[in-house]
Amino acid sequence: MAEKTFAYYLSGFKRYLQVEKNASDLTLHAYENDILDFYEFLHSEGLVSPVEAGTQTARVFFSRLYEKNYKRATAARKISALRTFYKFLKREGYMEINPFLSASMPKKETKLPRFLYEEELIHLFESFDITKDLDQRDLAVFELLYATGMRVSECCRVKTEDIDKDLGTLLVKGKGRKERYVPVGSFAIEAIEYYISHARKKLLQKNKDGRPNALFLNNRGGPLTERGVYYMVNKRVKTVSQTLHISPHDLRHTFATHLLNNGADLRSVQDLLGHEHLSTTQLYTHVTKDRLKTVYEYAHPRAEKKGG
């Protein structure tokens, strides 16, 4: 039997991720990049096939990640990708062992999410000039990101028919082709309706390739991209503050933090964010600890002596 190529193994693995794991295009791309990095490492070690790797190979690769000063999260992701890749190879009978099975995962650095205070948000919202077409669109994007806590990628996938203005709900197409319905507040609905009735109609006229059903359009009438949203948010923040630094994802953090600060339960916030694991949502509880301490000290009879 002819020896199988690396491309053969990688193609089978990607098919496995698509069919059995229902992986998104983004996940497939990330796994492929990590495995290609490992393949280059194998060549540097004089190995020509992934099935030649053993536990010692995995240890050497692990040490190389640290030598190159990869962040812990990046190193953990690469190891996780390779562990899954070799689990597939073992299942298919190409390997007797999974060399990455015993590789210890580096502990992730815990970074508290950045968020905006309500006063900062109001300052941002008030900076839009709705007599301008792109400001109408940008305000609608800001309002929707804050109203739903959706990811930027999810926001760019929203179609006009995904919004039910009467019910105040939105169909969100999330990671791994998972879908969820989320409520949308009146401020966001109003901003979106105004944008659809005015600026979006004008932007559509600039598109020469058809009439896209994406809700948010760029200044040429095509679908707004993630890169476009990041550029827009960065530009908007610079116009209102020289010290404020946020990304579109920080609006997602702000959404979750404000909900928890105002009494929402963790499970509900998990569902709204589309998190698979509650532990991911629990990160936001660290942000609210200071407020909880203040509430406790104010409300509990024996928490702190009151002056008088």
Q: Look up the pTM and report it.
A: 0.61
What residue ranges do the domains of the chain occupy? 6-91, 118-295
Give me 204's structure tokens.
């559509």
Least-confidence region, from 55-64, 70-79, 242-251, 294-303: 294-303
Q: Once rounded to an integer, what is the mean pLDDT over residues 227-256?
A: 87
pLDDT of 302 higher than 80? no
What pLDDT is stored for residue 23 in this prediction? 86
> Closest Cα partner for 245 from 258, 259, 260, 235?
235
> pLDDT by residue (tens digit) across 99-141?
998 766 555 555 666 888 888 889 899 999 999 999 999 999 9
**Residue 172 bridge partners (DSSP):** 180
Q: Give the phi and the psi of residue 274 in degrees, each rounded to 5.
A: 80, 25
What pLDDT is stored for residue 158 in this prediction? 96
Instruction: Tell me the pLDDT of the chain averaged across its residues.
Output: 86
CATH number for 6-91 (one of 1.10.150, 2.60.40, 1.10.287, 1.10.260): it is: 1.10.150
> pLDDT by residue (tens digit) across 164-187?
999 999 999 987 778 999 999 999
Among 39-43, 104-108, 194-198, 242-246, the range with the most confident prediction by mean pLDDT is 194-198
Q: Once rounded to an integer, what is the mean pLDDT over residues 77-86?
A: 92
Q: Once rounded to an integer, what is the mean pLDDT over residues 226-238?
A: 91
Q: Once rounded to an integer, what is the mean pLDDT over residues 80-95?
A: 94
Per-residue confidence band for 305, with pLDDT thresholds at 50, 70 and 90: low
Could you please state the CATH topology (level 3) that the domain comprising 118-295 is classified under.
Answer: hpI Integrase; Chain A (1.10.443)
pLDDT of 1 higher than 50? no
Q: Other C-beta atoms within 10 Å of 279: how many? A: 9
Task: Give percent above pLDDT 70 in the chain.
Answer: 89
Per-residue confidence band for 308, with pLDDT thresholds at 50, 70 and 90: very low
| Cα distances (Å, whole numbers) of residue 51 to 8, 63, 88 | 12, 20, 11
Beta-sheet pairing, 163-164 with 179-183: unpaired
Residues labelled as active-site residues? 151, 175, 249, 252, 275, 284
Residue linked to tokens 């739903």: 148
| Cα distances (Å, whole numbers) of residue 8 to 14, 50, 60 | 10, 11, 25
What pLDDT is stored for residue 261 in this prediction? 84
What pLDDT is stored for residue 287 in this prediction? 56
pLDDT of 295 higher than 70? no
What pLDDT is stored for residue 293 in this prediction? 65
> pLDDT by residue (tens digit) across 8-41?
999 999 999 999 888 888 889 999 999 999 999 9
Q: Once rounded to an integer, what is the mean pLDDT over residues 219-235?
A: 93
Q: Which amino acid is at 77?
A: R
Task: Give percent above pLDDT 90 in the chain.
Answer: 51
Per-residue confidence band for 59, with pLDDT thresholds at 50, 70 and 90: confident
What pLDDT is stored for residue 199 in this prediction? 96
What pLDDT is stored for residue 88 in this prediction? 95
